[in-house]
């Protein structure tokens, strides 16, 4: 759980830096990094959803 909190806090910090300071020289790089992070989170969420659905269908076979 601590790892998840660390990831969320770093993501929020990156999000604030990318949106609050658009005039920085590395703003485009930060924006791309934020987009890659958001895409990665979506992929992880979809993978977790698929895993839970597979587990639910497997468990439903046992119960009838």
DSSP string, the chain: -HHHHHHHHHHHHHHHHHHH-TTSTTHHHHHHHHHHHHHHHHHHHHHHHHHHHHHHHHHHHHH-
Per-residue pLDDT, 37: 84
- Domain range for 53 is 2-63
Give this prediction's pTM: 0.58
pLDDT per position as a tens digit, 4-51: 677 778 778 877 776 666 666 777 787 788 888 888 888 888 988 899
Counted domains in the chain: 1
| More confident of the two residues 63 and 42 | 42
Give the pLDDT score at 14. 75
Non-local (6+) Cβ contacts of 15 within 8 A are 34
- Contact predicate 18/34, CB 8 Å: yes
Tokens of 48: 């977790």
């Amino acid at each position: 759980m601590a790892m998840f909190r660390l990831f969320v806090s770093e993501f929020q910090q990156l999000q604030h830096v990318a949106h609050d300071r658009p005039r920085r020289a590395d703003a485009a790089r930060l924006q791309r990094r934020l987009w890659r992070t958001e895409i990665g989170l979506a992929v992880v969420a979809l993978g977790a959803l698929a895993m839970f659905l597979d587990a639910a269908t497997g468990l439903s076979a046992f119960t009838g």
